[in-house]
Structure 1
Amino acid sequence: MLVFILLILVLLPQMVCDVPVANCIISNPLPINHKYYQSGDIIIAGIISQIYKLYNRVSFTFHPSEEPPEDLIHFVASWTYLASMELLSTWGRFIPNYKCDVQNNVGAVISGPDSNVYLFTANILCIYKIPQLGYGFAPVMNDQSQDVFFQVMFPKGAHQYKGILQLLLLFRWTWIGIIFSHYSGEKFVQNVLPEFSQRGICFDFIEPLQMVYFTSDITEMVAMWMKIYQVIMSSTANVVIVHDEIHTMIFLITVPAVSESFDIPGKTKGKVWIMMAQMEFTSVPFQRYWDIDITHGALSFATHSKDVIGFQNFLHNRKPTSDEEDGFIQDFWQQAFNCAFPDTEVEKQNEKICTGEEKLESLPGSVFEMSMTSHSYSVYNAVHAVAHALQSMHSSASKCRARVDGVRWSNQQPWQLHHFLRSVSFNDTTGEMISFDENGDLVAGFDIINWVTFPNKSFLRVKVGKIDPIAPKDKIFNIDVEALVWPNNFNQVQPISLCNDFCQLGYSKTKKEGKPFCCYDCLPCPEGKISNLKDMDYCYECVKDHYPNKAQDLCIPKYISFLSHEEPLGISLTIVALSFSSVTAFVLWIFIKHKDTPIVKANNRNLTFTLLISLLLSFLCALLFIGQPESVTCLLRQTAFGIIFSVAVSCVLAKTITVVLAFMATKPGSRMRKWVGKRLANSIVLSSSLMQAGICIIWLATSPPFPDVDMHSMPEEIILECNEGSSLMFYCVLGFMGFLAIISFTVAFLGRNLPDSFNEAKFITLSMLVFCSVWLTFVPTYQSTKGKYMVAVEIFSILFSSAGLLGCIFPPKCYIILIRPELNNRQLLMRKNNN
C-alpha cells in the first residue's frame, strides 16, 4: 500500500504561518498560495496553519482575488473551509461534492495546531465521515457528532491542568495572573480555575487576549496588548499562566519592544510565564531582531517527545530548489535568510540573492530550530498512526482490502478506517508507545520545559520534569528544582508570588476584608498555642505533654514535677518536719520522765501524752506528702492526717473543757463535780476521733484518693499528684477539724481568765488562735496555688498548726520542769491558787 504524507510543519516548526495547506490546486478566488501535493492511491492530507498573513477587509471595489495581501498576521476561516472542500473535489478542479477520479482519495486528515482549524475542518469533513487527527489542544466541538471521527495527538488536557496546579503548589505560588484566548481559554477559566481556587490559588487578574485578522485592526490590537501588558507589569503577581495557542508568542515578543514608547510602570519587572502545551515559539519576520529575553526562565508544558533519528539529516537535505511543488519553502527561505530568489516577484533593489545553499543551522533559534518540537513530533506520529491503521484495516479485510495491484480504495469507506485508528497501538522510531484511550486522547504525558535564552536570539528548551499519568501516584509529577533557571530579575533565586509575605512562625493568617482569600494579615498566636510552619491558617495547641516556647513556634516537652525529697523545698520541709518531730519526742520524753510531778499530772496527763503523741505523728505525717505519689501514700495522706490531727484537736478540746469544768466544780454547791474526771475527757477524745475516722472510711469506700497526672494546671509541667477523689469528703475532713478547733477556741477563750496556776486556757486559746488562723488561710491559698506548691501549702499548714499547739501549750510547762523545778510543787501551786 502506497501512502503519501504531508509533513510541512516538520520542516518549518518556527516561522509558523497560519495559511491552511491543502493537497490540491485551484484557480478560484482567494487562492491558497502554499500547497504541497503528491499523487497516490491514498492521501494523508494536512490542513495546517503555517504562514501569517494580514488581509484588508473586502471593500467590494476590487475582485477579492486581486486584493493585495499585507505581509503580517493571521488567517481567515474561508481558507480552512476552502482547503477542506478541495480535499473532496477532483484534483485541479474545484467542484464541491464532486470527485471523478479513482485515485488520490483522502484516507485521513491531520489538522492543527489552532483549535479554529479543528473546528472549521470538522464542520466539513465530519459530514463525509473522514477520520481527522489534531495535534494541538482539542477544542469543544460545536456539534457532538463531530467528535465521532475526530481524535487528537494530544494527551488528556486534565493531566496538564493538574500538572500546572502541582507546579503552583510546589513553589507556593498562590497569587497569579491569567491570560487566555476566547477560543480555547474560556472553558479553562470556567471549569479549571475554580478547582485552582479550591486548592488555595488566587488570581490578581484574568485577562482575555485577542488576535486580529485585518490590517485596519492593528492599531486597536496593539492598544489592547499594551493595556494587558500594563496590567501584567503593574501586578504584584510574579507568575502568569498563559492559556492560548501558538500565536501568543508573538504577543510576548512584541509587547516588550513596543512598550518602550509607552509609559508602563514596572516594565522591567520580571515574570515567570507558565505556558500551555498548545503554545509554540512563533515569530514573524520583523521580530527576528527583537529580544526574546521575556521568555528566559519561562516554564512550559509540551506533549512528551523524543529526538527522532534522522531528522537532522532530513533538514540538511531540504533545499528551496529541490522541489518546485513545495512552494512555501521558498517564501520561508527568503524571510529566514533575508534574501530573494531571482525568479520571485519581489523588489530586487538592495536585496541579496538566495543561493539555496544557506545553512539552516546558522539561523538563530528564534527564527528556526534544528530540533524537532513537540508539535512536529505529534504530526510525525499522527502520520505513522494513520499508516498503522491502514495496514490493520488492509490485513483484516482480506476480501475487500485496498491493494496497489488493482483493488481500489473505493471498496473501502473512509469511516471504516476510524475504527482501526482508534485502536491503533505501535512503537514509534524512538521506542515510545503510541496509542489512544476510549475518548480518542493520546495515551501520553507532558514534558515540563524550562526556557533559556541567549543574547544571539537563540534559546534552549531544557526538559526539567514530566507528568506521567500512568506512573504510580507519587511519581506522576516530577521536576528537578535544582536544574531550573529563573528570569534574570530574580537573580537565580526561586521567585515568590504571593499577595503578601508569608506569616512567620508563631503567627497565623487572618482574612483581609474585601480582598481575595490569598490576601491576609498575620496575627500572633494566642497564649498556649503555636504555629511551627510559615503561613499557617490557624494556631494549634501542643499535645498534652508539651508546652509552647516563648516564640510560640515550637512545642517543648513538659518536665515531670512533684515535691521531691531531693529539691531544696522538699529537703527544707523534711528537715522542718523531722526537727519538730524531734522536739515533740523530746517533750514527750520529758513528760514521761516527770510523769509523777504535779505539773504533768495536772489536767489529765493521759490527755497530755495523747496530745504529744498525736502531734509527733502529725509532724511525721507531713513526710507522706513529700516524694512521688504512690497508691499507698495517696490513701494515707489525707486520711491519716485527718484522724491524727482530729485526735490532737480533740485532746485540746478535752483539756479545755476539763479546765473550765474543774473551776466551776470548785464553787460551793456546784453540780459540775460529777462531770469532772477522766471519763469525760476520754469520751470527748474517743467520740471525736471516731467521727473523723467514720468520715475517712466513707471517703475511702466511695471515692478514695489515687495517683494522678495533671497536664493542664501548669503550662510547662506534668504534675504528679494525689487526686483527692472527692473534694467534698476532703473538705468534710477539714471542716470537722475546724469545728473542733472553733469549739476549743471558744471554750478556752471563755475560761482564759480563770485564777488557777494550772490554768491552760490562756495557752490553749493562743494555740487555737494560731491553729484557726493557719487553716483559715490554708483554704484560699490552697485553691490559688498549683502543682507541687499545693502540696507545700498543706505541709506548711500541718507543720505550723501542729507547731502552734506544741509551742503555745508545752514550753511553759517544760520551763517549770527543767528550769524552775522548785515551782513543780503541789503545795506551792495550791497556795498560789488559793491566793
Structure 2
Amino acid sequence: MALLIVLITCFVIILATSQPCRTPDDFVAATSPGHIMIGGLFAIHEKMLSSEAYPRRPEIQKCVGFEIAMFLQTLAMIHSIEMINNSTLLSGVKLGYEIYDTCTEVTVAMAAALRFLSKFNCSREIVEVKCNYSSYMPRVKAVIGAGYSEISMAVSRILSLQLMPQVSYESTAEILSDKIRFPSFLRTVPSDFYQTKAMAHLIQKSGWNWIGIITTDDDYGRLALSTFVLQTMANNVCIAFKEVLPAFLSDNTIEVRINQTLEKIIAEAHVNVIVVFLRQFHVISLFSKAIERNINKLWIASDNWSTAIKITTIPNIKKIGKVVGFAFRKGNVSSFQSFLQNLHMFPRDHNKPLNEYAMLLSACAYYDTENGETCTGRQNEFQSLDENFTRLNLISCYLNVTLMNFHSLHELSNLWGCREKNSAMERPYNESLLDVLKNVTFTDEGKSFHFDAHGDMNTGYDVVFWKEVNGHMTITKMAQYDLKLLCSTQIKTKRPVCLFDGNTHNLQQIQSKCSKECSPGQMKKTTRSQHTCCYECVNCPENHYSNQTDMDHCLLCNNETHWAPVKSTTCFEKEVEYLSWNDALAVLLLALSLLGIVFVLAVGIIFTRNLNTPVVKSSGGLMVCYVILLCHVLTFASTGFFVGEPQDFTCKTRQMLFGVSFALCISCILTKSLKILLAFSFDPKLQNFLKCLYKPIPIIFTCTGIQVAICTLWLIFAAPTVEGNVSLPRVIILECEEGSILAFGTMLGYIAILAFICFLFAFKGRKLPENYNEAKFITFGMLIYFIAWITFIPVYATTSGKYLPAVEIIVILISNYGILCCTFFPKCYVILCKQETNTKSAFLQT
C-alpha cells in the first residue's frame, strides 16, 4: 500500500511539473484568500460517481451523497477562521483557507495534498522536486483533516516531506501515533488503542464473553481489529466471528459481503453483542438489511457512527435492538450555534458545499414525487443545522480552538513576520510551526488540553445509548470513560482504576456467551480448542471446590485438615475421630477388661482362702501365683490406655505396660513349666541339667529385665507419639504412632519367644501324671496366645481408622483370658467343686 502511494505521488508530481494545472475551482470545495493559508480536508460527499469501471483519463470524478455531518465540520473550521480574522488577535495578518472535498477517496485527498504543497508566490501551482526542502515555502502552512484514517495516512506521507502540520479531527488509527512514520501528524482525538480498550472493558464489565466484530478492509479497520483482539484476550473475551467489509462504496461486492455477514450473525445464535468499526454508509446498508431480517442484537458503535443522525433516522431503526457507542467528548459550541442561525447571511461565493446544502434544503422544503428520490428518508436530516449540530460529534471544535489558540496564533504571526523580513531563516517555517502546535495548551470549560508525545489529544470518551423517545431515536449519554483514570492507581489498594464514570448496569441484562455460566461447585471444561469461552460445566471432584461462577478449575482443599464432597462450593473441616469412651465397642471391650480383673481378684481370693491345699501348693508357689495374677490385672488394665483421646503419655504407657506385664506373666509360667518338667523327668542327665537351670527368681528377673531393656530403648530412641492420620477423605484419625515398627515388633517377638519356650517345656511334660500335671493346660493357653497374635498381625496391618486400637485390645483380651482360664480356672474348679480330690492322699495316687 505504501509503495503504491509513493508511485502515485511520484506520477502526479511529474505530471504537475510538466503540465499547467487546471484552475483551482475544479474540485476545491471552499476557499478564501489570506496572508496565511490553512488547508482543509473533509469528506463532504460519501463516494465518487464513475461511469466507467476503469477511468481512461486522470481526472477527478463527480462526488455524490451529501454528508450533513462533514458539511458541519467544514462550517466549524470556516467559523473559527472568520472569528479570528474579525478579532484583534492577528494584527495586519489575515488567515485564509482552502478546503477540499475528499469524497471519501484516497486519490482525491492526495490530489488536494499536492495542491497544498504547491510553491508559494508562483504563477503556476506546481510541486517542485528537491533534495533539500529547508528553503521551500509551500502555499498552505497547515492542514486540518482528514476524517478517515485511511485518507489521513496517505496525505500525511506526502505532507511529511515538508513537515507541514496536519491536524485531524477524527482519524483514530493507532498507527498514526507513530512519529517515525507520521512526524507532522497531530490529532485532537484519542487513538483507537484507547477506544478498543474501553470497548473491551465495557464488554468484560457487562459479563459478555462471546461477541462478533465487523470492520472495514482498510488500514483503519484492520488495525482496529488487531488491537481489539488483543484487548479482548486480555479481558478473557472471545470473538465468535470477524467480518470484513469492503472499505469504499465504489466496491460492487459490498452488497454480497453484507448479506454474508448477516448470515453469519444469524448462524451464531449465542452472539448477542456485535462491535462495529464501520463507516456510516456501511452501517446504513447493514442495518437496513438487518431490519428486513428481524435481526435484534446489541451493537457497540465506534466513534465513526455512534452519533450519526443519518443512521438514527432509518425507518424502523428500533427493530435492530440496542446501540451503545463511544463518542468523543463535546465542547462548548454556543458561538458556532449563533453562526449557524445566521448562515443565510454568509456569502456563498467560493463555497460549493454551502450552495449544495441550500439547494437540497430548498428541494426538501418543496418535496414532491419529482425530487423524492433525493430527499426520501432525509427530511429529518435537513432540518435546521444548529439543531443537528448539537447532536453530532463536536470534537472538531477542539481542533479549531487548538489551531487558532491565542498563543499559537501569535507564534504563527511572529513566524510569518520573520519569514517576510528574512527569507534565510535557520529553521524551515513549517518545522517551526509544527513545534508550536505540538506544545500548544488550551482550556475549555476549566479543563486543560494538549498534545502528548505521540501527537494525540486524549480527551476521553462519552458512552452514548440510543433510546426511543416519542417515536424518535435519541442519543443520550450514559457514562464517560476517562483516559487519565485508565493509567492511575488507587493509593490504598495499589490496584489500577479502570472504571466507567456513569451507569452501565442495565447492559448486564443482555446475555452474550458461548456457554451458560458454570455455577459454584462446577468448573469449565473447554470443548472448542480455539475458544476458551466455549465449554461444558462439570462438577468439582471430591476434595475440590469452586466458590465463584465460571471458574476455570476447581480449587483443592487442604487434604490434611479439610474435605469437600462432589460439586462443593466450600471445604469442610475434617472431624477428628478416635476410639472414644462412649463408643459401643470400646464400652464392650472395657467391660470385658473389668470382668477379667474381677475374675483375677476372685481367683486371688480363692487361692488365699485355700493356701494350704495341695492344688494351691502345686501351682508353683504362692508368690508365683500372686505375681501371675498381678500381671493379669496389669494386662487387663493396659487396655484402658487404648481408649480415649490419644496423648503422648497414654501412647507410651499402653505398650510398655502390656509388654512388661505380659512378659513377666509368661516368665512366671515358664518357671512353672520348667518345674513340672524337672519334677517328673526320669532321665538322669536331663534332670541334672534342669536342676542346674531351674532358678525361678533369676529366670523371672532375667526374662523380664530383657523386656524392660527393649521398652526402655524404645522410649529413648523412638518413643510412640500422637499423630493425626489424614489419609482418610473426611476424617482425621487421632492415633498413636508407634515410633518404631522394629521396636514394636521386637517387643511382641520377645514375648512370642518366651511363650514358645514355655510351650515346648509344657508340651514335653504333657504326658506326666495327671494329678500333678498342669502342663497340658499351659500348652493349651500358649496355643491360644499364638493363634490370637498370629491372627493379629494381618488384621492389624490391613485395618485403619479409629477402630485400629480395638483390634489390639481384642487380641490382648483373648490371649490374657486364654492364659488366665487355662492356668487358674481348672484349679479353681477343683478347689470349689471337687474338694475330695484336693487332698494330699488324692495327689499321691497315681
Q: CA deviation at 1:434?
A: 0.7
1:111 match: 145
Q: CA deviation at 1:734?
A: 2.0
Q: CA deviation at 1:118?
A: 0.8
Q: Is the 8 A contact 1:574 1:623 kept in 2?
A: yes
Please give the per-residue CA displacement for 1:11-60, whole angstroms capped at 9, x wherever unaligned: xxxxxxxxxxxxxxx9749933743x455444544312233134125479
Distance 2:755 2:353 in 1: 118
Confirm or deny that 1:126 pairs with 2:155: no
| Pairing partner for 2:113 from 67, 84, 102 | 84
Q: CA deviation at 1:130?
A: 1.6
Confirm or deny that 1:462 pairs with 2:492: no
Task: Name the amino acid aligned to 2:327.
Answer: A
SS in structure 1 of the partner of residue 326 of structure 2: strand
Task: Name the amino acid aligned to 1:426.
Answer: F
Mean Cα displacement is larger for which, 315-324 or 809-818? 315-324
Q: Is the 8 A contact 2:487 2:497 kept in 1?
A: yes
Confirm or deny that 1:250 pairs with 2:281: yes
Mean Cα displacement is larger for which, 613-622 or 192-201? 192-201
Q: Structure 1 194/77 Cα, relative in aligned 2: closer, same or farther at 3 Å?
A: closer
2:190 match: 155
| Pairing partner for 1:627 from 644, 655, 661 | 644
Confirm or deny that 1:274 pairs with 2:300: yes
Identity %: 25
RMSD (Å) for aligned C-alpha atoms: 4.3
Distance 2:724 2:398 in 1: 72
Q: Is the 8 A contact 2:165 2:434 kept in 1?
A: yes
Task: Name the amino acid aligned to 1:421.
Answer: L
SS in structure 2 of the partner of residue 203 of structure 1: strand
Distance 2:749 2:294 in 1: 83
Q: Is the 8 A contact 2:213 2:239 kept in 1?
A: yes
Q: Structure 1 318/470 Cα, relative in aligned 2: closer, same or farther at 3 Å?
A: farther
Q: Is the 8 A contact 1:174 1:518 kept in 2?
A: yes
Q: CA deviation at 1:615?
A: 1.2
1:639 match: 656
TM-score normalised by L of structure 2:
0.79
SS in structure 2 of the partner of residue 810 of structure 1: helix
Q: Is the 8 A contact 1:560 1:717 kept in 2?
A: yes
Q: Is the 8 A contact 1:112 1:134 kept in 2?
A: yes
Task: Name the amino acid aligned to 1:597.
Answer: T
Distance 1:633 1:698 in 2: 18
Distance 1:205 1:93 in 2: 56
| Pairing partner for 2:390 from 358, 370, 378 | 370
Confirm or deny that 1:229 pairs with 2:262: yes
Confirm or deny that 1:577 pairs with 2:593: yes
Distance 1:181 1:358 in 2: 28
Mean Cα displacement is larger for which, 324-333 or 653-662? 324-333
SS in structure 2 of the partner of residue 127 of structure 1: coil
Q: Structure 1 508/550 Cα, relative in aligned 2: closer, same or farther at 3 Å?
A: closer
Q: Is the 8 A contact 1:558 1:716 kept in 2?
A: yes
Task: Name the amino acid aligned to 2:729.
Answer: P
Q: CA deviation at 1:191?
A: 5.9
Q: How does 1:441-480 map to 2 (within 5 A)?
A: 441-453=456-468, 456-467=471-482, 468-472=485-489, 474=495, 476-479=497-500
Q: CA deviation at 1:513?
A: 6.8
1:301 match: 326
Q: How does 1:91-490 map to 2 (within 5 A)?
A: 95-97=125-127, 106-135=140-169, 136-138=171-173, 140=175, 146-183=181-218, 184-190=220-226, 193=229, 196-197=232-233, 200-214=236-250, 217-218=251-252, 220-238=253-271, 242=275, 244-245=277-278, 247=279, 249-258=280-289, 267-268=293-294, 270-282=296-308, 288-293=313-318, 296-303=321-328, 305-306=329-330, 308=332, 310=334, 313-314=337-338, 317=341, 319-320=343-344, 322-325=346-349, 327-329=352-354, 331-332=356-357, 339-340=364-365, 347=371, 360=384, 368=388, 370-373=390-393, 376-377=394-395, 379-388=396-405, 391-392=407-408, 394=410, 400=414, 402=416, 413-428=429-444, 430-453=445-468, 456-467=471-482, 468-472=485-489, 474=495, 476-479=497-500, 483-486=504-507
| Pairing partner for 1:696 from 702, 705, 711 | 711
Q: CA deviation at 1:613?
A: 0.7
Confirm or deny that 1:798 pairs with 2:831: no
SS in structure 1 of the partner of residue 45 of structure 2: coil
| Pairing partner for 2:607 from 591, 597, 622 | 591
Distance 2:742 2:140 in 1: 99
Task: Name the amino acid aligned to 2:704.
Answer: S
Q: Structure 1 129/59 Cα, relative in aligned 2: closer, same or farther at 3 Å?
A: same
Distance 1:141 1:769 in 2: 99
2:771 match: 757
Q: Is the 8 A contact 1:108 1:132 kept in 2?
A: yes
Q: Is the 8 A contact 1:705 1:722 kept in 2?
A: yes
1:46 match: 40
Q: Is the 8 A contact 1:450 1:485 kept in 2?
A: no
Q: Is the 8 A contact 1:293 1:453 kept in 2?
A: yes
Distance 1:143 1:443 in 2: 15
Confirm or deny that 1:56 pairs with 2:50: yes
Q: CA deviation at 1:91?
A: 11
Q: Which runs of 5+ in 1 are unaligned?
A: 1-25, 262-266, 487-491
Q: Structure 1 65/105 Cα, relative in aligned 2: closer, same or farther at 3 Å?
A: closer
Please give the per-residue CA displacement for 1:700-726, whole angstroms capped at 9, x wherever unaligned: 22222222233x222222232222221
Q: Structure 1 356/556 Cα, relative in aligned 2: closer, same or farther at 3 Å?
A: closer
SS in structure 2 of the partner of residue 140 of structure 1: helix
| Pairing partner for 1:31 from 26, 43, 55 | 26
Distance 2:511 2:641 in 1: 65
Please give the per-residue CA displacement for 1:168-218, whole angstroms capped at 9, x wherever unaligned: 44445333333222322333455663564466443332222213343xx44
Q: CA deviation at 1:788?
A: 2.1
Distance 1:158 1:349 in 2: 40
Q: Structure 1 76/767 Cα, relative in aligned 2: closer, same or farther at 3 Å?
A: same
Distance 2:284 2:530 in 1: 33
Q: CA deviation at 1:663?
A: 2.9
Please give the per-residue CA displacement for 1:589-644, whole angstroms capped at 9, x wherever unaligned: 33334333322221313332222111111111122222322232222222222222
Q: CA deviation at 1:774?
A: 2.3
Q: CA deviation at 1:146?
A: 5.0
